[in-house]
């Protein structure tokens, strides 16, 4: 079955960022900045609490594009992101992608990519291009 793509199509994915997830991400990325790992350090920082690595938050778009929309067979061409607000360890975050534009011959989709925290505040904003299957 050939998938139909329509401008305005949306897909979402929600998750918690548990302390253990952030510790594992620190290990595999070798980014052991204490703002992510050390409660006392984070408490004395401008953030006041441990924050999730920005790029770990961005992985929610990879999850959507790779497994939900378009899923299997898409190719990630680009991802632009602005980090508007911190995501704290323990936060529940919802990622949303929306198809803004579609190049029919090249089959390249341009998506708005946003993440919201549990209070509904925009934490990550950006745009991605995906070669559709």
User: Which residues of the chain form contacts with its own copies (CB under 8 A)?
Assistant: 13, 15, 21, 24-25, 28-36, 45-46, 53-56, 58-63, 66-67, 71-73, 75-83
Q: Which is nearer to its own copies, 8 or 55 (CB)?
A: 55
The minimum distance between CB 133 and its own copies, in angstroms, equals: 10
Nearer to its own copies, 66 or 98 (CB): 66
CB of 43 to its own copies, least distance (A): 15
Count CB neighbours of 30 within 10 A: 6
Minimum Å distance from CB 14 to its own copies? 11
Nearer to its own copies, 5 or 41 (CB): 41
């Amino acid at each position: 079955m050939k998938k139909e793509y329509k401008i305005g199509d949306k897909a979402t994915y929600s998750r918690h960022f548990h302390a253990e997830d952030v510790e594992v991400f620190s290990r595999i990325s070798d980014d052991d900045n204490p703002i992510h790992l050390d409660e006392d350090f984070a408490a004395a920082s401008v953030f006041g609490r441990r924050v999730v690595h920005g790029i770990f938050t961005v992985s929610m778009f990879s999850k959507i594009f790779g497994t939900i929309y378009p899923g299997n067979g898409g190719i990630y061409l680009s991802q632009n992101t602005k980090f508007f607000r911190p995501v704290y360890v323990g936060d529940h975050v919802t990622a949303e992608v929306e198809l803004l534009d579609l190049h029919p011959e090249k089959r390249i989709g341009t998506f708005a990519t946003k993440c919201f925290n549990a209070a509904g505040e925009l934490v990550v904003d950006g745009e991605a291009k995906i070669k559709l299957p």
